[in-house]
Amino acid sequence: MQTQAGVLKIDLSALKSNYKQFQSMTSAHVAGVVKANAYGIGLERVVRSLLDEGCRQFFVATVGEGLALRKINFNVPVGILGGILPGAESECLHANLTPVLNSLEMVHRWAAFAKTQGQKCQAILQFCTGMNRLGLGADEIETLTADLSVLDGLDIQIVMSHFACADEKDHWLNQEQAKRFAEIAGRFPLVQKSLCNSSGLFRDKAWHYDLVRPGYALYGGNPTPETDNPVCPVVSLDVPILQIRNVKKGEVIGYGASHVFERDTQVATLAMGYADGFLRAHSGQAKLFWRGQACPVIGRVSMDVLSVDLGHLQGETPNPGDMLEVIGPHQSIDDLAQSAGTIGYEVLTSLGTRYARLYV
C-alpha cells in the first residue's frame, strides 16, 4: 500500500553486526545505550536484537524509559542515566531499575530510601571528570570517599564517568578526563568501571575498563569523524514525490518566497517536512538523491512537505510516486546532519512517526 509517507528501513542485522564488531574490539562487556527510543530506531526491536547478541546491560535516560524497557525484558540490568528524582524511588526499585547517582544528594536520598525498604538497593555512581553536566563533583567525591559508610545500604554495581569530547581524537580533555577517572575509580577496587561512549570505544583501549557504553555507533553513526565510518549503516530513508511542476525564471517557491528561480526548471514536492524530523534548518541546504544524483532542497521546509529542484538531472527523471533517497548509500546520517549544522544524533532522534517503518 502507498501510504504517502517515507519508508524508514532499519537493518537489524547491521545493528547486530555493529554490536558484534564492538564486542570483538574489547575485552570489556558492550552495554547498549537505548535512551530516546533507541535513538529513534525503536526500543523494542533494538533491545531484542541486542539481547540476542548477548548484551547484558542497558542504559536509558529516564525512569519512564526504564519502565518501557521492562515491558520487553524484566531481568536485564538497566541503568537510568538521569538518576532519580524525589518521589520516583519506589517505582524505580519495584521495576528493578538501577539509578545512576549523579550527586551526593542523590546518594543520600537513595541510601535513605534503601533503609526504609530494609534492603540493599542497587546503584551506579557517576563521577564528573570535567564535563560538568552530571555526576558527583570533586568536592562531593572527596566527602564521599572520606567516609564510605553512606554507601552501606547500597549495592554499587558500576562506577562511571562520561567523555565530553571523545569524538575529537586528540582533544586535550580526553586525556584529562581519563586521568581523573583512573584516580577516582581506583578508590573502588571491587566495582566494575565504565568510561567510554561510542567514540571513546574507538580511542585508547586503556579507557575501556569493564563496560563500554556505545549508543550512536550501534545505530550506524560515525564515532570517528576524522576517518571514514568504521561501522555499518543501520538506517535508510526514502520519500515519495507527491507532485512535479514546471516553474519559470523569476517565480518563487514555498513559505516566505525565500527562493527565486534563476531559470526555468522542474521541481518536485515530497511527502516529508519538519514534522517528520527533516529539520527546518535544512531549508536551502540539504540534498536528496535520485539514482545517485543530488537534488537540492529549495525554499523552506514546511511541516509536511518540501521541494527539490530536478532541473539538472541527467537521463530518466522521476515521476510522482517515485522515491528519493534521504538517507542511504549516497547520504549518511552524518552527511545529512552536516547540511543543517547539526549532528547525526539529532537527525536520528528527530525521525518522525509518520514513516512506514520496515525492520529487515
Ligand X SMILES: *Cc1c(COP(=O)(O)O)cnc(C)c1O
Q: Where on the chain is the footprint of ligand X (CB under 6 A)?
A: 33, 35, 81, 162, 197-198, 213-217
Q: What's phi and psi for 241, nearest 5 deg?
A: -80, 130
Q: DSSP label at 64?
A: H
Q: Which is nearer to ligand X, 40 or 240 (CB)?
A: 40
- Determine contact, residues 300/258, Cβ cutoff 8 Å: yes
Q: Which is nearer to ligand X, 22 or 355 (CB)?
A: 22
Q: Which is nearer to ligand X, 35 or 193 (CB)?
A: 35
How many angstroms separate the CA atoms of 299 and 302, rounded? Answer: 9
Q: How far is CA 319 from each of CA 75, 196, 240, rounded to the nearest angstrom?
A: 51, 47, 9
- Determine contact, residues 259/243, Cβ cutoff 8 Å: no
Query: Shortest Cβ distance from residue 120 to ligand X (Å)?
Result: 24
Among this protein's residues, is 249 annotated catalytic? no
Which amino acid is located at 246 in the chain?
A: N
Q: Which is nearer to ligand X, 81 or 239 (CB)?
A: 81
**How many other C-beta atoms are found inside a 10 Å radius of the C-beta of residue 132?**
9
Q: Which is nearer to ligand X, 238 or 334 (CB)?
A: 334
Please give the sequence-ordered ranges of beta strands (E in DSSP) within 107-168, or none if there are none.
Answer: 121-126, 154-160
Which amino acid is located at 82 in the chain?
A: G
Query: Shortest Cβ distance from residue 98 to ligand X (Å)?
Result: 13
How many angstroms separate the CA atoms of 177 and 185, rounded? Answer: 12
Q: Which is nearer to ligand X, 216 or 289 (CB)?
A: 216
Query: Shortest Cβ distance from residue 21 to ligand X (Å)?
Result: 14
Output the nine-digit C-alpha cell for 259: 527562493
Among this protein's residues, is 219 annotated catalytic? no
Query: Shortest Cβ distance from residue 47 to ligand X (Å)?
Result: 15
What is the Cα 143 distance to its own chain's centre? 34
Q: Which is nearer to ligand X, 40 or 153 (CB)?
A: 40
Which amino acid is located at 149 in the chain?
A: S
Query: Shortest Cβ distance from residue 219 to ligand X (Å)?
Result: 8
Closest CA to 311 of 354, 342, 347, 268: 268
Quote the Cα angle for 323-324-330, to 5°.
135
Query: Shortest Cβ distance from residue 236 to ligand X (Å)?
Result: 20
What is the Cα 221 distance to its own chain's centre? 8
Residue 293: exposure state from Cβ atoms within 10 A (0-12, 13-18, ≥19):
middle
Quote the Cα angle for 338-40-307, to 5°.
50
Query: Shortest Cβ distance from residue 63 to ligand X (Å)?
Result: 15
Q: Which of 9, 16, 19, 35 is catalytic?
A: 35
Q: Which of 71, 179, 205, 255 is catalytic?
A: 255
Question: Which positions are annotated as active-site residues?
Answer: 35, 255
